[in-house]
Amino acid sequence: MLKTILVSCLGLLLIRCQTNSVSTTPVESQAFYKMNIIRIALEQSEQPSINWEPQQRDCAGFVRFVYRNAINTKEPLWYAWDGTQKIPYANAELLVAKNFSKISDSISDVIQTGDILVFRRAGQKKEDEWHLMLLMESPWEQKKWLVTYHNGARSEAGGVKKIWMQDLLDVDGLDWKPTGENKNFVGVYRWNAWVK
């Protein structure tokens, strides 16, 4: 009997969380949405959803897809360059400029699931200049971080990759290391609706 009541209460809580809407104020039930972010990101690393349009499969498209589905909304989430109108599509530069706020110059104790690592490689083609990676706390171990991202390739090699943060920090070369020595690393950013 107690088990039935607990399961019913949990079900009602989940339904209530799913009906919360996104606004410019901090989104309530962040824990629920962040669990969705982890689930959806990991699902995309195994098999991209048929609902994720192939022409939008790049690093920014991955962030947009994960957030839209984690929040479970059909309404536009992203602010346009004017900062007032919401639009369904935003490239990496627009996501960073108007929709996410810098919270740290380095990986630190302030990072949370849903934050993004932002990289900018000056001198690249405009569509290749920015790169975003999504941070998630491991669902299996506290304080162990997983990084997921779309590698941006438009060919068969394109897809969502996942790597442990420590492995990313240990990889040879600096291009995608989230460290101060990497001139391409811009910082850690958080969705404006979750910045307090």
Which tens digits make up the pLDDT trace of 12-40?
Answer: 334 344 434 334 334 556 889 999 999 99
Q: Is residue 22 part of a domain?
A: no
Cβ pair 107, 120 in contact under 8 A? no
Q: How far apart are CA 94 and CA 70, in angstroms?
A: 20
- Which DSSP letter does residue 63 get? H
Q: How many domains does the chain have?
A: 1
Q: Is residue 20 part of a domain?
A: no
Q: Is residue 1 part of a domain?
A: no
Cβ pair 132, 61 in contact under 8 A? no
Q: In one letter, which amino acid is 172? A: D
**What pLDDT was estimated at residue 146?**
96
> What is the tens place of the pLDDT at every residue in 36-58?
999 999 999 999 999 999 889 99
What pTM does this model have?
Answer: 0.83
Q: Is residue 19 part of a domain?
A: no
Query: Residue written as tokens 């706020």?
Result: 101
Cβ pair 138, 145 in contact under 8 A? yes
User: Residue 115's domain is classified under what CATH number?
Assistant: 3.90.1720.10
Q: How far apart are CA 69 and CA 38, in angstroms?
A: 11
Q: Between vectors from CA 109 to CA 167 and to CA 143, what angle results, nearest 5°?
A: 55
Q: Is residue 15 part of a domain?
A: no
Q: Is residue 155 part of a domain?
A: yes
Cβ pair 176, 82 in contact under 8 A? no
Burial 47-72 (b: 16+ CB within 10 A, else e): ebeeebeeeebbbbbbbbbbbbbbbe
CB atoms within 10 A of CB 153: 11
